[in-house]
Amino acid sequence: MKGQDQYLKFVRWEETDQLYVGYCPDLFPWGGVCHGKTEEGAYRQLCALVAEEMDELQREGKELPPPSTRPMREAVPA
């Protein structure tokens, strides 16, 4: 497993922009960091940005943020 695989990455359609926007909340908490006309293209850009950010943090001797965002929460029985 690559280090970047521990972080949630997702792409969603943004109606207002008419583009797909990529997100990785643990590394870029301010919102979308890339966009594309296709979902696949936006995801490729997002993966490259996540890898670049991780490399830069490591080069600077900074700790990587802990992966804390999950795609779904565990179900709690009622």
Q: Where are the domains of the chain?
A: 3-59
39-72: pLDDT as tens digits: 999 999 999 999 999 999 999 999 999 998 776 6
* Residue 54 near residue 63 (C-beta atoms within 8 A): no
- What are the percentages of helix, strand and coil residues in the chain, rounded to 5? 30, 15, 50
pLDDT score of 77: 57
pLDDT score of 71: 67
> Cα torsion at 57, 60, 62, 68 (round to 10°)?
0
pLDDT score of 78: 53
pTM of the prediction? 0.84
pLDDT score of 72: 63
Q: What distance in Å separates the CA atoms of residue 67 and residue 5, rounded to the nearest whole number?
A: 10
Provide mean pLDDT across the span 19-37.
95
